[in-house]
Structure 1
Amino acid sequence: MGSTCVRIAIDAMGGDHAPGEIVAGALRAREELGIEVLLVGDPQQIEAALPSKTNLGQVEIVSATEAIAMDEEPLSAIRRKPKASINVAMNLVKNQKADGVVSAGHSGAAMAAALLRLGRLPGIDRPAIGAVFPTLIASKPVLILDVGANVDCRPKFLDQFAVMGSIYSEYVLGTPNPKVGLLNIGEEDSKGNDAAVRANQMLRENSQISFIGNAEGRDVLSGRFDVIVCDGFVGNVLLKFAEAVGDIVLQILREELPQGLRGQIGSAILKPNLKRIKQRVDHAEHGGGLLLGVAGICIIGHGSSQAPSIFNAIRIAKEAVDNSVLQRIQSQYQSLQQESN
């Protein structure tokens, strides 16, 4: 690409609040992160969603005449609709016209489009969606993967997730020597089903990661682990549950704060604390998950994403580009293959 500025393609037609909230989050990212955003979708709808004072000459819109609905079967829809916004966005990355893609649309369609158009990184059997969760330790998040890309996982898939998650945790989240755990029903290596026991053994033998054992449900948010691997079925249930807990915590805070003048005074005093609480537990602050294992940067956001979530999803994409996540994963697997030979 001719410019060193990071360019992110945004699926403007994906999500419950498209294109309005998607466009708003993208414009904020352009202003605050200093990146170029390519708004992919129906030009008329995108232009209608732009603020009235927007200079159209400063906004890059890439036309896509189709969109994929949430109730469509992902693979067939991707093939049937080549001009769908998610396909057009992926092609921008494939053709090196963008450094990454952000979509809050159909997550299955986003993954299918990434696999068909970008392909997998060498040595990776299955991609995984990684989601960042807050923990009891401030500024020490935990990365969970997979949270929805693979319903069933072989032990070797979990082993690959651990390597990719460790690289992301170290270079993007800033965690030196990330501690890896396997989500399980007990701490002992012998606990769980046959696949869990075999995965535990494989993770223990992997010299590329710092595996410290099984992680029970109560350990997920403790801060003891930096990366936790699991299959996409369990991971997605965990993700949705954690989001619900965060929403409940925020709702309880709003309900329990005193009303009237006392409440106004108390809220003013507590405002910095309340803001930090929101940043730690509100899933909108984390934006979405990075699809690790495909040959391109792809962030899959929540279908209900509004402008703040889209902004944070674009920020994650930029950080992944800036920290060369793809190149690091590829380099790690090349060295693994050389060792095995």
Structure 2
Amino acid sequence: MVSIGVDVMGSEKGLKEAVKGCVKASQKRDIHVVMVGREDEIKEILRKYPKRILKKAKFDIVNATEVIEMTDEPFSAARRKKDSSIMVALDLLKNGEIQGFFSPGNTGAVVISSVLKLGRLDKVSKPALVTVIPSIYGFRTFLDVGASIDLEPRDYLLFAIFGKVFVENVLRKYKVRIGLLNIGEEDYKGPEVLRKARELLKEKLGEEFVGNVEGYQLFLGNVDVVVTDGFTGNVVLKSSEAASKALSSLMKQEITAKWYGFIVGGLMKIALKGFRKKTDVSEYGAATLLGVNGNVFIGHGASSAKSIKSGIVYAAKLSQVNLNQKIDKILSGMGEI
């Protein structure tokens, strides 16, 4: 049985949606959910659930009186709100009462709180958030998507190692191709820190490092890991999500505007079944925080109950893999970085 703590107070969709996702996830075999938040409010929502549903669910509630809002400045909130749902859940993780922590809340606050409570791995100066994105060659790993900015060359190397460990243990690929996101493939392109990072990755990773990759290669290039800083990664990720939604909406508008649209729509629904399978990242329901001493996962702030359930299930799966432990073992065997 894997026990996952959930910050139910952080979601933009509200407590009701978060509790719904927790209840659904806790009905899964071998998953126990610990809902962390204002106990009275959680219990009030649960009173409306049928007993037959609650009977199948495996969960506990741990009280936390404070909430770190999406609008809170992360560092000051982490320092000031000691009894927030994020901080209380991280205490449970640190003390071994849960195996993983999932939050759909304030990303910056979760990252900073995790570093403060759990600490960083040896040799790691900055953590990274890793996510999975679809491409014409299958799923690939992209990091950092929002944890750290102002990187040094060695941080890019560490992130590349994080990505390699993720690909090998989650995507199950063993000949890993690693690229550094830049404005061009040429060696001289990009700011000085990226040029130095490129040389370091080439020296330390050898043939696994394919060099600089441009933005289009995220989706069209044959590369398994794409490394960047958290600011750039977050902008790219959110822009890609928005572009996907916009294209889908435009396609729907065009189809429904024609009298024969229902016929075309029906045919497309059949034809796109395979497409959905190749591009559906719901199995990877959260970004994974790598470089800290614990299993921490962050979902989208606007996560629905379905997405929260998916994030918890994903967290339970990866908490058994213990990626940070594997990374720590690799780093301990390396010399000076």
Tell me whether the two structures share a fold, i.e. TM-score over 0.5.
yes
Residue of structure 1 aligned with 2:295, choices 282, 290, 297: 297
Question: SS of the counterpart of 2:11?
Answer: coil
Q: Which residue of 1 aligns with 2:27?
A: 31
Task: Tell me, in whole angstroms, the C-alpha distance in 2 between the residues paired with 1:255 and 1:33.
Answer: 41
Question: SS of the counterpart of 1:55?
Answer: helix
Q: Which residue of 1 aligns with 2:141?
A: 143
1:44 and 2:40 correspond: yes
* Count of aligned residue pairs for this structure pair: 333
Question: SS of the counterpart of 1:220?
Answer: helix
Task: Tell me, in whole angstroms, the C-alpha distance in 1 between the residues paired with 2:63 and 2:317.
Answer: 26
Contact 2:26 2:32 in 1 (8 A): yes
Task: Tell me, in whole angstroms, the C-alpha distance in 2 between the residues paired with 1:208 and 1:170.
Answer: 17
Q: Which residue of 2 aligns with 1:63?
A: 63
Task: Tell me, in whole angstroms, the C-alpha distance in 1 between the residues paired with 2:100 and 2:234.
Answer: 23
Shift of 1:314: 1.8
Task: Tell me, in whole angstroms, the C-alpha distance in 1 between the residues paired with 2:74 and 2:136.
Answer: 37
Task: Tell me, in whole angstroms, the C-alpha distance in 2 between the residues paired with 1:132 and 1:108.
Answer: 20
Contact 1:185 1:216 in 2 (8 A): yes
Q: Which residue of 2 aligns with 1:198?
A: 196
Q: After alignment, is 243-252 or 212-221 more displaced? A: 243-252
Contact 2:181 2:213 in 1 (8 A): yes
Shift of 1:176: 1.6
TM-score when scaled to structure 2? 0.91
The correspondence of residues 52-201 of structure 1 with structure 2, limited to 5 A, is 52-53=49-50, 54-55=53-54, 58-137=58-137, 140-201=138-199
The correspondence of residues 283-322 of structure 1 with structure 2, limited to 5 A, is 286-322=284-320
One-letter code aligned to 1:196: L
String of CA shifts for 1:1-26, please: whole Å, max 9, x gaps: xxxx1111000001201212222222
String of CA shifts for 1:210-235, please: whole Å, max 9, x gaps: 11111101111114111111111111
Residue of structure 2 aligned with 1:333, choices 308, 331, 335: 331
Q: Which residue of 2 aligns with 1:19?
A: 15
String of CA shifts for 1:240-278, please: whole Å, max 9, x gaps: 101101212332343233579965565555445445545
Task: Tell me, in whole angstroms, the C-alpha distance in 2 between the residues paired with 1:245 and 1:282.
Answer: 15
1:7 and 2:3 correspond: yes
One-letter code aligned to 1:79: R
String of CA shifts for 1:281-334, please: whole Å, max 9, x gaps: 567664331111011111111111112221222233223222231221011001
Question: SS of the counterpart of 1:25?
Answer: helix
Task: Tell me, in whole angstroms, the C-alpha distance in 1 between the residues paired with 2:101 and 2:315.
Answer: 8
TM-score when scaled to structure 1? 0.90
One-letter code aligned to 1:12: V
One-letter code aligned to 1:197: R
Structure 1 spans left out of the alignment, 5+ residues: none
String of CA shifts for 1:27-84, please: whole Å, max 9, x gaps: 2222235311111111222233335214378431111111011111212211211110
One-letter code aligned to 2:8: A
Task: Tell me, in whole angstroms, the C-alpha distance in 2 between the residues paired with 1:70 and 1:330.
Answer: 31
Contact 1:286 1:309 in 2 (8 A): no
Distance 1:236 1:18, change over 3 A: same
Give me the CA root mean square deviation.
2.4
